[in-house]
C-alpha cells in the first residue's frame, strides 16, 4: 500500500516571549492509506504542532510528504477539524457545510446536494438555517465534521475534536465519528489527550515524548469495532492496550516534570 503521509526528521522551533522553543525534534512517522492514527502524549509535547505541520499551516524543517509530494501549504486533500471556534459564525449551518464546495466553484445545486446529504449524516436536519451561536458544543463539532467532509478530503486531520465537550457528548460524538469512518475509510490522523478515546477509535496509537517531542512508542490496536460500545470497551483487548498506552503516556509525562 502506498504511504499516504510520510513524516521524516521534522523539527519545529517557535519564537515565544520566553525566547526560542523547540517544539518538535526529529519526528518520524509513516501513515498508510486508510489508517486511523492517534497521536497521544503529555501536554505541550507538540502533537498539535505536528498535526498543523501535516496540514500545511506551519512550516518546519524536515520532510513531510502526502502521496509522495512535499507539503507546500494547506490543501483540499487534507480536511481539518479543530477543537473549537473554527466554524464561521456569520454563516448558517448549511452555508458552513457548503463552504468548501462553493469556494471551489461547484454549481450551486451540487453544493446544496452535498450539504443536504451531510446534514442527514450528522443528524442535524431542521437546523440547517441556524447560526453557530444557537448550537450546543456537540452540534457545532458535528457541523465542523460535516464541513470537513463536504470537501471530500482523502485525509482527515482532527485536533482534539471532542476536547471541549462534556463526557457524555464526547462519547456520542466518538460513536458518530467511528460510524462515519467505518463507512468512508479515509486516512485519519487525530490528536487527543484522552487515551480511552485513542484506543476506542484508532488502529494505531503513537505516543510522543515530552517537549521537544518525537514519537517514542507505537501501539497497534486490533479491536472488532462492529459491536456496541459496551462490547468494545469491556473487551480484554481494549483494556490491555488501554493500560499499556496510558502507562506509556504517564512515563513520558513524568520525564517532562523531571526536566
- What are the residues binding other proteins (CB under 8 A)? 52, 55-59, 72-76, 78-80, 82, 85-86, 88-91, 99-100, 103-104, 127, 130-139, 142, 144, 147, 151, 153, 157, 165, 168-169, 172-173
Contact 66, 5 (CB under 8 A): yes
The residue among 64 and 223 lying less far from other proteins, judged by its C-beta, is 64
SS3 call for 27 = strand
Q: How far is CA 47 from CA 43, 58, 158, 201, 223, in A?
A: 9, 13, 11, 17, 24
Cell numbers for 154, please give them: 482523502
Phi, psi of 113 (to 5 degrees): -65, -45
Do β-strands 19-32 and 3-16 pair in parallel, antiparallel, or remain unpaired? antiparallel
Closest CB 53 distance from other proteins, rounded Å: 8
Closest CB 234 distance from other proteins, rounded Å: 23
The residue among 2 and 73 lying less far from other proteins, judged by its C-beta, is 73
The residue among 135 and 256 lying less far from other proteins, judged by its C-beta, is 135
β-partners of residue 15 are: 20
> Which residues are within 8 A (CB) of 6 and not within 5 positions of it... i.e. 6 or more apart?
29, 30, 31, 63, 64, 65, 66, 68
Number of continuous H segments (helices) and E segments (strands) in the chain: 8, 10
Closest CB 76 distance from other proteins, rounded Å: 4
Closest CB 50 distance from other proteins, rounded Å: 14
The residue among 73 and 258 lying less far from other proteins, judged by its C-beta, is 73
Q: How far apart (Å, rounded) are the C-alpha atoms in residues 60 and 163?
A: 26
The residue among 147 and 186 lying less far from other proteins, judged by its C-beta, is 147
Closest CB 179 distance from other proteins, rounded Å: 14
Closest CB 225 distance from other proteins, rounded Å: 20
Q: How far apart (Å, rounded) are the C-alpha atoms in residues 223 and 47?
A: 24
Closest CB 37 distance from other proteins, rounded Å: 18
Total residues found in the chain within this entry:
259
The residue among 120 and 134 lying less far from other proteins, judged by its C-beta, is 134
CA angle 152, 156, 157 (to 5 degrees): 140
The residue among 140 and 242 lying less far from other proteins, judged by its C-beta, is 140
Amino acid at each position: 500500500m502506498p504511504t499516504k503521509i510520510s513524516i521524516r526528521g521534522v523539527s519545529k522551533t517557535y519564537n515565544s516571549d520566553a525566547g526560542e522553543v523547540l517544539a518538535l525534534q526529529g519526528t518520524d512517522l509513516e501513515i498508510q492509506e486508510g489508517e486511523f492514527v492517534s497521536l497521544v502524549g503529555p501536554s505541550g509535547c507538540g502533537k498539535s504542532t505536528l498535526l498543523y505541520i501535516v496540514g500545511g499551516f506551519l512550516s518546519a524543517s524536515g520532510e513531510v510528504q502526502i502521496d509522495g509530494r512535499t507539503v507546500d501549504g494547506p490543501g483540499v486533500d487534507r480536511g481539518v477539524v479543530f477543537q473549537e471556534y473554527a466554524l464561521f459564525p456569520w454563516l448558517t449551518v448549511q452555508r458552513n457545510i457548503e463552504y468548501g464546495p462553493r469556494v471551489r466553484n461547484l454549481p450551486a445545486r451540487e453544493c446544496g446536494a452535498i450539504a443536504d446529504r451531510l446534514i442527514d449524516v450528522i443528524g442535524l436536519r431542521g437546523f440547517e438555517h441556524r447560526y453557530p451561536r444557537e448550537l450546543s458544543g456537540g452540534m457545532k463539532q458535528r457541523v465542523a465534521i460535516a464541513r470537513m467532509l463536504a470537501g471530500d478530503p482523502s485525509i482527515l486531520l482532527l485536533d482534539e475534536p471532542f476536547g471541549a465537550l462534556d463526557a457524555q457528548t464526547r462519547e456520542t460524538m466518538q460513536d458518530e465519528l467511528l460510524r462515519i469512518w467505518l463507512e468512508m475509510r479515509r486516512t485519519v490522523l487525530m490528536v487527543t489527550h484522552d487515551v480511552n478515546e485513542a484506543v476506542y477509535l484508532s488502529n494505531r496509537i503513537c505516543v510522543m515524548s515530552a517537549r521537544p517531542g518525537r514519537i517514542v512508542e507505537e501501539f497497534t490496536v486490533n479491536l472488532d469495532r462492529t459491536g456496541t460500545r459496551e462490547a468494545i470497551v469491556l473487551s480484554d483487548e481494549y483494556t490491555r492496550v488501554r493500560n499499556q498506552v496510558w502507562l506509556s503516556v504517564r512515563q513520558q509525562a513524568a520525564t517532562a516534570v523531571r526536566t
